[in-house]
Structure 1
Amino acid sequence: MVVLAKGELEQISLPIAHKPGTFFSGIPVIDLSEPSSKTLLVRACEEVGFFKVTNHGIAMDLMAKLEAEAMRFFTLPQVEKELLGSGSPLGYGSKRIGCNGDLGWLEYLLLEVTSKPMSQTSLSYLKEPSASSFCSALNEYIMGVRKLACEVLELLAEGLNIQPRNLLSKLVMDEESDSVLRLNHYPPCPHLQGLNCSLTGFGEHTDPQIISLLRSNNTSGLEISLRDGSWVSVPPDQNSFYVNVGDSLQVLTNGRFRSVKHRVLANSISSRVSMIYFGGPPPREKLAPLPLLMEEGEQSLYREFTWCEYKRSAYKTRLADNRLGQFEK
């Protein structure tokens, strides 16, 4: 354990992590403009559960604009940041991840994604023109990343020979879809500079939703767990998106696609900023393996449950827990 000096995310104790390893070269990279992308997407979901997409259609200047707006927010005085989301799972938070004791060297802004544009009043405590500029960047980015999630899910449906093509994408595009955008800021941790170790930024976990799309700046820290249990470092790429299979998609495919465990290590020198869109289904949506994806005689690995049931259960767990365990048959 390490106790950090007061004044940096307050005085907290966090577990020391291992020193980051070399970057893993085996992460699938998929050009969405290529005709073969649907086949490659399916293979990536089956073999790794994690991949990078290029030619995604979201402008670089839009990603840079939202990153700048996010950093402008995170450099505000602590008391001003805490005005947003006090006492709520949404809004601003720091150090504590969830309500069950998980800690991380980060601060974050968690925002609900709906079919309607985000209202400027949700950021009204920020001085103008900051509120309108931040809100504009958020809305434009959310619109683009929802469209990208839809495209990836529809290509996956094609690759799986699922009809209709929007069977998966409609779950995250529904008016009641329970999706969120998370802006994470991992400040540099100079106390660790020169030491042969790192600090836990965000502990190991899987994402509960259907699909997650992540874009970060050029600072490393993200790691994924391979099928053999080993952890590998993901090379940063501020121009592309990394995509995670979520727990819900694992259920829908009866385990054919696997939700990958991942974590983030803090950096001793540079800030890391990540922007993650979590595409979730409507609260009352029933989740169970899709019969059209199951072979003759194949047994369902999961009992049917609603997204609301699963989300309620997940809130009671620690990050590293197997959240799907109680829904397995």
Structure 2
Amino acid sequence: MVALSKPSIEQFFMKPSKPNTNPLIFPTIPLIDLSKPESKQHLVKACQDFGFFKVVNHGVPTKFIKKLESEALKFFSSPLSTKEKAGPPDPFGYGNKRIGRNGDVGWVEYLLLNAKPESDYQRYLSVFEENPEIFQGVVNDYVTAVKKMACEILELLADEMKLQPRNVFSKLLMDEQSDSVFRVNHYLPCPEFQENERNGRKLVGFGEHTDPQIISVLRSNNTSGLEISLRDGSWMSVPADSDSFFINVGDSLQVMTNGRFKSVKHRVVANSTKSRVSMIYFGGPPLSEKIAPLPSLIQGEEDSLYKEFTWFEYKKSAFNTRLADNRLGLFEKITAT
């Protein structure tokens, strides 16, 4: 772990959050069983109300999950000097504390990888004494299974919304040119923070943001830390669950549904004593793909809320902003009043 001086650690603290004004109506995170025929309507409702939900009976083999977490922990347990040989990220590779290029920081180290099966991880994983192809095979098995599950969810959503073709969303992930990425985050324990934690101060693990892609599939170990923003501006802690997957609606899916589905703002709070490992598949479209509200979802006198843009244009814009910025704001149509 990198030891930071006491003045430096202050930049990792969060500003005080807006408290939940009515804890009696604190919402419950939707839990959806993908094996049930009624899952379609539950998925649509969760995307509309939350933009976030948990799925069980997801079909991702437990052995893939356990193997990947084991390999990830092996990597993150390496000496910092060894891990840094796999960085800095450009955009892929190993990163530590710095998130993006616009000044965002978090108490996190991570490995960002291209999600395409043919991607070469040699540069990033040659730090392993063992054969780096082992890690690549484990990542490919996991990502393939998770992508299949993500596509199933997107097709169930299309079914329930009576969209044609059924793969109107999922084909963007299945395209050979799909710009999907895979990220493994490691939130290190921070003993220096323990006294502050007792005083109610929160340490930024990963700052508040929305995901710019179509859909995000998250799995973590049994350490909590993920929080989602509710409509009243308060933050809700997501209980840890290492057996399930959490799904985020991304900005691109919000645009394609003309705002019906909500891209949820979320963040991660670091822990003083426990490490947290999370693995996220970000399903993105090809760079040249045009993103705009689907014509079949614009009814009657309804207007399109967003300008058309390519994924390349939005990705470039998003990664030139700070995490907490309203990335979609630049692409919203201004309607006359």
Could you tell me the TM-score, scaled by structure 2's length?
Answer: 0.91
**CA shift at 1:5, angstroms?**
4.0
Alignment of 1:51-62 (within 5 A): 51-62=53-64
Give CA-to-partner distance per residue, 1:145-179, whole Å, 9 cap, x none.
Answer: 11111111011111111111111000111000100
Alignment of 1:228-267 (within 5 A): 228-267=232-271
What CA distance in whole angstroms lies between the structure 2 residues aligned with 1:305 and 1:161? 24
Q: Percent identity?
A: 60
What CA distance in whole angstroms lies between the structure 2 residues aligned with 1:119 and 1:211? 24
Alignment of 1:185-224 (within 5 A): 185-194=186-195, 195-196=198-199, 197-224=201-228
Give CA-to-partner distance per residue, 1:287-306, whole Å, 9 cap, x none.
Answer: 11001111111100001000
The secondary structure found in structure 2 opposite 1:278 is strand
**CA shift at 1:123, angstroms?**
4.5
**CA shift at 1:68, angstroms?**
1.1
8 A contact 1:216–1:272 mirrored in 2: yes
- Letter of the 1:226 partner, please give it: L
Greater CA drift, 81-90 or 319-328: 81-90
Alignment-derived partner of residue 154 in structure 1? 155
Alignment-derived partner of residue 303 in structure 2? 299
Taking a change above 3 Å as real, the CA distance of residues 219 and 174 of structure 1, as seen in their structure-2 partners, is same
Alignment of 1:126-205 (within 5 A): 126-194=127-195, 195-196=198-199, 197-205=201-209
Q: Which runs of 4+ in 1 moved over 6 A?
A: 19-22
Give CA-to-partner distance per residue, 1:126-150, whole Å, 9 cap, x none.
Answer: 3443513212211110111111111
**CA shift at 1:198, angstroms?**
2.4
8 A contact 1:198–1:268 mirrored in 2: no
**CA shift at 1:119, angstroms?**
3.5
- Letter of the 2:252 partner, please give it: S
**Residue 39 (str. 1) matches residue 41 (str. 2):** yes
What CA distance in whole angstroms lies between the structure 2 residues aligned with 1:85 and 1:293? 43
**Residue 93 (str. 1) matches residue 90 (str. 2):** no
**CA shift at 1:80, angstroms?**
1.6
**Residue 277 (str. 1) matches residue 274 (str. 2):** no
Taking a change above 3 Å as real, the CA distance of residues 321 and 124 of structure 1, as seen in their structure-2 partners, is closer
What CA distance in whole angstroms lies between the structure 1 residues aligned with 2:189 and 2:5? 13
Give CA-to-partner distance per residue, 1:216-263, whole Å, 9 cap, x none.
Answer: 000000000011111000001000000000000000000000100000
Taking a change above 3 Å as real, the CA distance of residues 60 and 204 of structure 1, as seen in their structure-2 partners, is same
Alignment-derived partner of residue 16 in structure 1? 13
What CA distance in whole angstroms lies between the structure 2 residues aligned with 1:95 and 1:117? 29
Greater CA drift, 194-203 or 207-216: 194-203
- Letter of the 2:299 partner, please give it: E
What CA distance in whole angstroms lies between the structure 2 residues aligned with 1:238 and 1:158? 29
The secondary structure found in structure 1 opposite 2:203 is strand
8 A contact 2:51–2:263 mirrored in 1: yes
The secondary structure found in structure 1 opposite 2:155 is helix
8 A contact 2:191–2:273 mirrored in 1: yes
5+ residue gaps, structure 2, are none
- When the two chains are superposed, the root-mean-square deviation of aligned CA atoms in Å is 2.1
What CA distance in whole angstroms lies between the structure 1 residues aligned with 2:81 and 2:153? 39
What CA distance in whole angstroms lies between the structure 1 residues aligned with 2:37 and 2:297? 22
**CA shift at 1:25, angstroms?**
5.6
Match of 2:326 among 322, 325, 329: 322
Aligned residue pair count: 323
**Residue 290 (str. 1) matches residue 294 (str. 2):** yes
**CA shift at 1:14, angstroms?**
2.4
- Letter of the 2:111 partner, please give it: L
- Letter of the 2:52 partner, please give it: F
8 A contact 2:86–2:125 mirrored in 1: no
5+ residue gaps, structure 1, are none
Match of 1:108 among 107, 110, 121: 110
Match of 1:308 among 299, 305, 312: 312
What CA distance in whole angstroms lies between the structure 1 residues aligned with 2:174 and 2:96? 30
Taking a change above 3 Å as real, the CA distance of residues 136 and 184 of structure 1, as seen in their structure-2 partners, is same
